[in-house]
């Protein structure tokens, strides 16, 4: 291996250009994802009808072939703006839509989401929304698609929530909020959040994971009461956490992503225990038990890992959270060798140096080439003429990997070829589950 490749290096292309098949939607999509990720919140779209219809395939089905719940899909109220409203405005139509939606839906929260058209024509959406605030919990998020991507929309949702709904609460010492996992956009979000909640509960911490919870309004209203906000991403959720820090004085701590396997999970739990001053013995006893059981289980896969596929090369084309943590698990616990890592979620430039550092391994003397690229055509060009045997990527790469005679496993958005319900790779046993998936595609043929 050449010396220049022995160090983590990153490539990026910041040219303004048309992007082929990006791995995310627009800002409106991100707000929509956050809203339907709550159990009882209704998105009210002030936009063209296509903005709502596109979420069926572009959010739900792309996010592990899921539906988007009782208040998503074709149930979403939409003002369905057309040329007439561009000329005369859409405020009156929105007013009628909000009024009828409140009467029709039994919901804990209503979220009016403004798309491109009202932002361009100057509809006073805040004024219309203000007419209904004394009737139901209601917020407005201005999210024109041209303002950013889905991850930007996730941040906008929490910023609006902090400004328009949340109020200061007395701090609860062992309560933490979880940020950085975007519903649908992060493929395993449901299982990841439930697992994070459980492993923190096991050491005496109450985790407010916000999404997947049944008591939507109660869950949201206790956000300001948390002692810390834990951001499980090197960049997603940072804006939201900073907003909550400014508004309610809640400090935040960032992690590389949801922890995969024993090494990452132990590091995560010890950090949380230190932050909250938890009893050391209780935490360490739990860690010892979980590590022993998970490593014992992994030993049953030793032949599949060591005999049939030792130190194999792999590649990743995925969002930052997924790319970092499955790569670190494979390198630090399985001794697999990463040839190239392609980050597909377009993190802001100011976070990229730190993201690259997260791939450094203390366990093996081998570092991948790291590329930041969102364009599908260019992603595929970066994967050509490589020696890796397995590609961990989205369903977009499935046929391409077959063309290259590479094995493929879908681990990131979009996922049109894998149904994902509670599946996830987080925690002590998440690593062994990942190995089950990763190695099973190599076994056979009988």
3-state helix/strand/coil string of the chain: CCCCCCCCEEEECCCCCCCCCCCCCEHHHHHHHHHHHCCCEEEEEECCHHHHHHHHHHHHHCCCCCCCCCCCHHHCCECCCCHHHHHHCCHHHHHHHHHHHHHHCCCCEEEEEECHHHHHHCCCHHHHHHCCCCCCCEEEEECCHHHCEHHHHHHHHHHHHHHHCCCCCCCEEEEEEEECCCCCCCCCHHHHHHHHHHHHHHCCCEEECCCCCCCHHHHHHCHHHEEEEEEECCCCCHHHHHHHHHHHCCCEEEECCCCEHHHHHHHHHHHHHHHHCCCHHHHHHHHHHHHHHHHHHHHCCHHHHHHCCCCCEEEEEECHHHHHHHHHHHHHHHCCEEEEEEECCCCCHHHHHHHHHHCCCCCCCCCCEEEECCCHHHHHHHHCCCCCCEEEECHHHHHHHHHCCCEEEECCCCCCCCCCCCCCCCECCHHHHHHHHHHHCCCCCC
Does residue 390 share a domain with residue 298? yes
Does residue 230 share a domain with residue 322? no
Q: Name 149's bridge partners.
A: 26
What does the pLDDT look like over 300-319, one tens digit per residue?
Answer: 999 988 888 888 999 999 99
The values of phi and psi at residue 428, to 5°, are -60, -40
What does the pLDDT look like over 314-360, one tens digit per residue?
Answer: 999 999 999 999 999 999 999 999 999 999 999 999 999 999 999 99
Q: Name 175's bridge partners.
A: 206
Q: What is the tally of structural domains in the chain?
A: 3
6 pLDDT tier (thresholds 50, 70, 90): very low
| Mean pLDDT, residues 43-55 | 93
What was the pLDDT predicted at 13?
53
Does residue 380 share a domain with residue 314? yes
- Which of 248, 276, 304 is where one domain is finished? 276
193, 352, 432, 333 alpha-carbon torsion, rounded to 10°: -140
| Mean pLDDT, residues 271-300 | 98
Does residue 431 share a domain with residue 333? yes
| Mean pLDDT, residues 365-394 | 96
Does residue 342 share a domain with residue 225? no
Task: Give this prediction's pTM.
Answer: 0.94
What was the pLDDT predicted at 14?
52
| Mean pLDDT, residues 219-227 | 98
Does residue 34 share a domain with residue 88? yes
What was the pLDDT predicted at 12?
57
What does the pLDDT look like over 243-272, one tens digit per residue?
Answer: 999 999 999 999 999 999 999 999 999 999
Does residue 436 share a domain with residue 314? yes
Given a cut of 70, is residue 8 above it in pLDDT?
no
Given a cut of 90, is residue 230 above it in pLDDT?
yes
Given a cut of 80, is residue 26 above it in pLDDT?
yes
Does residue 301 share a domain with residue 435? yes
What was the pLDDT predicted at 310?
86
Q: Read off the tokens for 429.
A: 């046993």
Given a cut of 90, is residue 59 above it in pLDDT?
yes
Does residue 410 share a domain with residue 272? no
Does residue 348 share a domain with residue 421? yes
Does residue 179 share a domain with residue 130? no
341 part of a folded domain? yes
302 part of a folded domain? yes
CATH number of the domain to which 242 belongs: 3.40.50.1980
Does residue 182 share a domain with residue 88? no
What does the pLDDT look like over 137-196, one tens digit per residue?
Answer: 999 999 999 999 999 999 999 999 999 999 999 999 999 999 999 999 999 999 999 999
What was the pLDDT predicted at 366?
83
What was the pLDDT predicted at 443?
81
Given a cut of 80, is residue 9 above it in pLDDT?
no
What was the pLDDT predicted at 152?
98
How far, CA to CA in Å, does 131 sit from each of 73, 88, 96, 307? 27, 20, 11, 68
What was the pLDDT predicted at 364?
84
What does the pLDDT look like over 30-40, one tens digit per residue?
Answer: 999 999 999 99
41 part of a folded domain? yes
| Mean pLDDT, residues 37-55 | 94
Domain interval for residue 211 = 172-276
Given a cut of 80, is residue 1 above it in pLDDT?
no
């Amino acid at each position: 291996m050449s010396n220049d490749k022995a160090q983590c290096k990153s490539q990026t292309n910041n040219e303004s250009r048309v992007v082929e098949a990006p791995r995310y939607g627009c800002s409106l999509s991100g707000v929509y994802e956050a809203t339907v990720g709550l159990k009882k919140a209704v998105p009210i779209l002030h936009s063209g009808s296509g903005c709502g219809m596109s979420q069926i395939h572009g959010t739900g089905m792309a996010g592990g072939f899921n539906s988007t719940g009782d208040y998503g899909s074709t149930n979403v109220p939409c003002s369905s703006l057309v040329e007439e409203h561009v000329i005369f405005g859409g405020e009156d139509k929105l007013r009628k839509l909000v009024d009828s939606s409140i009467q029709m839906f039994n919901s804990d929260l209503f979220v009016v989401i403004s798309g491109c058209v009202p932002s361009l024509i100057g509809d006073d959406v805040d004024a219309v929304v203000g007419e209904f605030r004394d009737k139901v919990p209601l917020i407005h998020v201005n999210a024109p698609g041209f303002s950013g991507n889905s991850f930007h929309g996730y941040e906008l949702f929490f910023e609006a929530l902090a400004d328009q709904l949340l109020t200061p609460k007395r701090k609860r010492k062992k309560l933490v909020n979880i940020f950085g996992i975007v519903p649908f956009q992060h493929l395993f979000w449901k299982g990841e959040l439930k697992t994070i909640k459980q492993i923190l509960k096991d050491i005496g911490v109450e985790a407010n994971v916000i999404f997947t919870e049944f008591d939507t309004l109660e869950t949201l209203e206790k956000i300001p009461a948390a002692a810390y906000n834990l951001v499980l991403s090197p960049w997603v959720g940072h804006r939201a956490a900073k907003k909550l820090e400014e508004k309610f004085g809640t400090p935040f701590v960032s992690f590389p992503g949801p922890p995969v396997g024993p090494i990452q999970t132990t590091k995560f739990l010890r950090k949380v225990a230190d932050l909250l001053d938890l009893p050391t013995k209780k935490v360490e006893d739990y860690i010892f038990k979980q590590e022993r059981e998970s490593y014992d289980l992994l030993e049953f896969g030793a032949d599949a890992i060591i005999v049939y596929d030792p130190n194999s090369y792999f590649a990743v084309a995925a969002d930052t959270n997924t790319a970092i943590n499955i790569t670190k698990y494979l390198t630090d616990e399985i001794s697999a060798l990463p040839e190239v890592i392609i980050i597909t979620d377009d993190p802001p430039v100011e976070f990229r140096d730190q993201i690259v550092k997260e791939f450094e391994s203390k366990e093996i003397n081998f570092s991948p080439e790291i590329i930041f690229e969102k364009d599908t055509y260019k992603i595929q060009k970066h994967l050509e003429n490589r020696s890796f045997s397995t590609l961990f990527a989205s369903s977009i790469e499935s046929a391409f990997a077959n063309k290259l005679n590479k094995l493929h496993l879908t681990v990131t958005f979009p996922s049109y070829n894998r149904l994902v319900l509670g599946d996830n790779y987080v925690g002590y046993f998440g690593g062994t589950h990942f190995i089950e998936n990763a190695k099973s595609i190599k076994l056979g043929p009988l």
